[in-house]
Amino acid sequence: MSGLPRSSHALVTGGGRGIGRAVASALVQAGATVTVLGRHRATLDEAIAAGAAHFAGVADVADQAAVNAALAEASARQPIDILIANAGAAESAPFAKSDAALFRRMMDVNFMGVVHAVQAALPAMRDRPHGRIVAVASTAGLKGYAYVSAYSAAKHAVVGLVRSLALELASTRVTVNAVCPGFTDTDLLAGSIDNIMKKTGRSHEQAVAELARHNPQGRLVTPAEVADTVLWLCGEGAGAITGQAIAVAGGEV
């Protein structure tokens, strides 16, 4: 596998924890300068202190003006070669109880958050010798799950965006792909586990098993496994890989 070009600058949204932090750390270890973006300065500073990133910017990805300002600041330090649009949020509810506000929240963070980051990074990236855009979507962007219709719809939108944008940029040096993890062992998933326990009375172990059963390997995916896939897509050897939605899910999809 070819590595990253020398002196690459990567920006990871939602990079302070979970999959985003694992991706940021993998990019640092591969030699990139990494800026993490998120809503909470303390969480981002912890990632920097742990060696998972070099710089941080505070912004809510649903706020386009804030994203534009944060990426402009990061680009002023060093032009961005790699964008990992990872920030996301999940809420569950039966469709009958999923109001317009819930759908807007899921679309604003999970879909428009990707749009905002890409629109801010792409103009300058097109002039770079090497450009990579990777959206962290979900297996929910490739199939349906009950009780998360709003989240699933938003992640399907991300996959559609990736496929369309990849065609627009096929004649450039910028590739656009999505990585679609199955249920992954992160703090975001911990919230889903808590909901299962509260609503069903199951134990923690039973709630984890309920989610792990979707994976034919019978386990949760690790953030490091997702990060390895993202790192490969960012490398020079993946230049012919674009417009793809790659499941990291133990054969679920």
Q: Provide the annotated active-site residues.
A: 151
Give the residue ranges of DSSP H helices in 30-90: 41-49, 64-77
Q: What are phi and psi of 176, to 5 degrees?
A: -135, 120
The DSSP bridge pattern shows strands 131-136 and 82-85 to be parallel
How far CA 199 is from CA of 92, 147, 178, 190, in Å, comes to 12, 13, 32, 14
State how far the Cα of 19 lies from the Cα of 183, in Å rounded to an integer.
11
- Taking alpha carbons only, the member of 241, 226, 251 closest to residue 20 is 226
235, amino acid identity: G
Structure tokens at 228: 């390895």
Q: Phi and psi at residue 247, in whole multiples of 5°?
A: -80, 130
- 135 forms beta bridges with 85, 178
What is the biggest distance separating any 2 CA atoms in the chain, rounded to whole angstroms? 55
Instruction: Determine if residue 74 is left, alpha or beta; phi over 0 gives left, psi from -120 to 50 gives alpha, anything else beta.
Output: alpha
Q: Which of 238, 135, 130 is nearest to 177 (CA)?
A: 135
Q: How many whole angstroms separate alpha carbon 98 and alpha carbon 41?
A: 31
